[in-house]
Amino acid sequence: MATLCFQSPTKPISYFHPKSKPSPPLSTKVSLFRCRASLQTLVAVEPEPVFTSVKTFAPATVANLGPGFDFLGCAVDGLGDHVTLRVDPSVRAGEVLISEITGTTTKLTTNPLRNCAGIAAIATMKMLGIRSVGLSLDLHKGLPLGSGLGSSAASAAAAAVAVNEIFGRKLGKGELVLAGLESEAKVSGYHADNIAPAIMGGFVLIRSYEPLDLKPLRFPEDKELFFVLVSPEFEAPTKKMRAALPTEIPMVHHVWNSSQAAALVAAVLEGDAAMLGKALSSDKVVEPTRAPLIPGMEAVKKAALEGGAFGCTISGAGPTAVAVGDAAEKGEEVGERMVEAFMRGGNLKAVACVKKLDKIGARLVSSISR
């Protein structure tokens, strides 16, 4: 694995009992980590490209899943970003040129040092030790910015996988997650609950950030699970939504959220959509501070639950709301109710879709051999 270095922040998060002043016996301090990653070359001999061009896809993701802030996420099918990558003799060896950005937004920079896809592509090239080949990259955005569906992670995942594929798939998914984290750290913060499921597919638990330890959670094949994703016409930048989070929480909320996160993991492994929904709806730390920043969110959650959803919360940093169920038809009905609630409670237009779990993650779509 590539080397990851971390540093503790100057201000840790404290959990304290609400009826007493914080003290060592009642206080649990959890360090947050910022990445000062040093990505090492992992391949002994620089690989040659096996394709002249590749096209890849990376799915949208739902991070946090309620109580799993920064350590739980999953991929959803059918939505995401595409990257087309080509060996380009006109590009300086060892570098990446972003030649075109299309899709839901064209306002992203084409500077590869400041673009999610560019940063991840460069990080992957560094891991592979690419010094003799230049690449040009086209990014097609299927996800809007600031949607709460892992837009930056989808771009990074698609780019990292594209570089890996064009050079013969020398890196494993764990290494590709590290490359994607280089991008996430510079764009929205060092958190893997979008980039890990975007690359690995399915549900992923981030057991540890120091060192990075990822645990795929397998939802049973014979069980049904549907996500109702309702996205309003409202942008919620991740950095802004993270800035709204509390720096201290009561010990009772820490205990509650821990139990709900554990229940959510059990529900995933057992294929229990109803329990998954209950746990997903039960966050007492993050959702209460973010929901008021999304017009109509409280009404949307109420509408989803009254409409028969097993649970509802904010997807990632928002503003997309996600509800879960075990039937597509019921999901369509719930989605309509949630769209109406966004208009009624927040005066926001919104669109709804019902999607299944993406169990594959970022993948090669097409290629042209040399």
What is the Cα–Cα distance from 242 to 86, expressed in whole angstroms? 36
Nearest 5°: CA angle at 223, between 222 and 228? 140
Q: Cα-flanking dihedrals φ and ψ of residue 154, to 5°?
A: -65, -45
| Cβ atoms within 10 Å of 284's Cβ, excluding its own | 17
Integer angstrom CA distances of residue 80 from 63, 232, 316: 14, 17, 15
List C-alpha distances in Å: 30 to 34, 55, 114, 254.
Answer: 13, 41, 30, 11
Cβ contacts of 47 within 8 Å, gap of 6 or more: 128, 130, 167, 168, 170
First CA to last CA across the chain, in angstroms? Answer: 29
Nearest to 69 by CA among 186, 244, 272: 244
Alpha carbons within 13 angstroms on the beta-carbon side of residue 157 total: 33
Active site residue 184: yes
Q: Are 273 and 38 in contact (CB under 8 A)?
A: no
Cα angle: 225, vertex 158, 87; to 5 degrees:
155
Pick from 165, 154, 238, 169: nearest CA to 199: 154
- Give the pairing of strands 34-35 and 350-356: unpaired
* Side-by-side strand order, sheet with 226-232: 311-314, 321-325, 226-232, 350-356
61, 84, 238, 313: the catalytic one is 238
Cβ pair 136, 159 in contact under 8 A: no
Catalytic residue among 184, 287, 313, 320: 184
Question: Which residue type sits at 227?
Answer: F
Element holding 306 (H helix, E strand) = helix 297-306
**Residue 230, CB half-sphere, CA atoms under 13 Å: how many?**
32
**Residues annotated as part of the active site:** 184, 238
